[in-house]
Amino acid sequence: MLEDKDLLSIQEVRTKVEKAFAAWQKYRTYSQEQVDAIVERMAAAARANAKRLADMAVEETGYGNAKDKYIKNLLNCDWLPRRMRGIKTVGILRELPEERIVEIGVSLGVVAAILPTTNPTSTAMSKTLVSLKAGNAIVISPHPRAFKCTCATAAILYQAALEAGAPEDIIQCVDRATMEGISALMHHERVSVILATGGHAMVKAAYSSGKPAFGVGPGNVPVLVDTSADLEDAIAKIVTGKSFDYGTVCSSEQALVAEYSLRDRILALLKQHKAYLCNDQQSDALGKLLITPSWTVNPNCVGQAPTKIARMAGFEVPADTSILCCEIAGVGKKFPLSAEKLSPVLSLLFVADYATALDTCFGLLKFGGAGHTAAIYAKNDTRIREYGMRMPAMRVLVNTPAPQGSTGITTNVFPSMTLGCGAMAGNSTSDNVGPLHLINIKRLAYTVRTPEEAFEMPLDYDKAQDGPAPATPGGGAIDRTAVISAVERYLASRGIAVSPPAAPSSPATQPAAHACGCSTPAPPQPAVRQSVVAGVAADVVDRFLARRGAAPAGSPGAPQKSGGYS
């Protein structure tokens, strides 16, 4: 019997989204304690299967290596749930008595999770745990080349969730994922938000769906090795990062940038760490192999061992080679290896000075990784901060392997497999996406002031200033009488009686006398000056009364006359 794979995928998506939506209607009533218990049980089940799932991912996709995929799994089933402990996501999140605000977490609904082939099991763990932590249901759409290991991960998490009391159907995984099915998932009326990890076209489709979406852009991570760096530490860590899971992480190092004065020492240290230094002919062959004529990454090379990639390019390297290194002369389309490669191939750019190094790193990010990640090795904190300010990257990592630093293993950024790249990359966030991105926050806001108290300008339209205020004579000196009057009015508005002063006006405020014996009245204070005086007077009085232990009535620390909460 003939089967239309797209129609079957679309029908499956529709059915599973409806099931997830019905489950969410029950799950949205769960307390924080119930939600947290479910998340903990899922994480424990994932930890027990982390090694097996890593093996399955490599066997099915052919990308990366099992030992590093195991570490990526642990990131999301060990470190991530520990970081989420104590984070409030449902019910009352916090109360701000001074501001008279109460914040309430509101789950979004059904999360559509689009998964990649490079990190299938770890991303399934990450997206599922943060979605359920936020009180949502999830429908997972695996990459067609990774659906077995992805759905196996989802099944383990689902069974654990049920055992902890989650409603049936809270986690769904699409078995027949096609592009048409993915499109139907992203556009389904029951889907509230999209978490998309994949190629540029997939992320663009997510943002074009009309739904709120969190996607990530491509990474083309530059690594600046400064003259102040500990070179032995830097090169060891760069090789560790570049070789991690054979370069499948989008925040993996792509190009090392350093001054010429460091070249010989860097090359020697790279050799010491089993890096293979390619000659010009080998580098040219790698450029033609890794980057297609349409400037996409050759999928046959993604996440492959350096020995295999070298063989595909027509040359052999030692069996224990960690990464392949290629010196290139610039950035842009004349230099294919200046692009993202998603493999254990590291470009090397040696430049004249620090300023040129900054320009080169900036150029690498603009060429193909704007908003994603940059790294620097240095001891000079002034340069570290200058680099961080200059680079168009939302994660700037210091003295750490880039994949481990960007995902929160070796730094305190939030543990995540979804690394936002900000507006410059067309992303809705620059954060590492976590559970707080998957809730809305409702606010109870109690009255604390009248409209008249909120503004310094008069609210009466007829009394509003029309055009710039005239310059105040005498260099803008404030009339002492005006200050006294403003203080008295403010105290009176707070219910504090004030006796009128008996002292005569100061000479500075007396009418100006003339030889003829007549006098000229002092010019009136402009409306803006009067409002500023009133504001300053109110602040001064409040501070004075606070020091005296008598907060004025109506202020945040004073008893309220009626209504509200305490």
Token digits of residue 27: 């799950």
Looking at residue 558, the DSSP 8-state letter turns out to be S
How would you class 284 by CB atoms within 10 Å of its CB: exposed for 0-12, middle for 13-18, buried for 19 or more? middle
Q: Which of 149, 250, 301, 325 is catalytic?
A: 250
Looking at residue 564, the DSSP 8-state letter turns out to be S
The label of the residue with tokens 């008595």 reads 97
Task: Judge whether 13 and 113 are in contact, CB under 8 Å.
Answer: no
Task: Judge whether 126 and 73 are in contact, CB under 8 Å.
Answer: no
151 is catalytic: no
Q: How far apart are CA 322 and CA 243, in angstroms?
A: 6
Q: Give 317-377 as a DSSP string.
A: --TT---EEEE-S-SSTT-GGGS--SSSEEEEEEESSHHHHHHHHHHHHHHHTTEEEEEEE
∠ Cα 370 356 408 (to 5°): 40
Q: Across the strands, what pairs with 377?
A: 225
Q: How far apart are CA 419 and CA 429, in angstroms?
A: 9
Looking at residue 246, the DSSP 8-state letter turns out to be G
Task: Judge whether 199 and 216 are in contact, CB under 8 Å.
Answer: no
Question: Phi, psi (5° rounding) for residue 101?
Answer: -125, 140
Q: Reduced to 3 states, what is the DSSP secondary structure of residue 14?
A: helix
Which amino acid is located at 168 in the chain?
Answer: E
Which amino acid is located at 342 in the chain?
Answer: L
Active site (catalytic) residues:
250
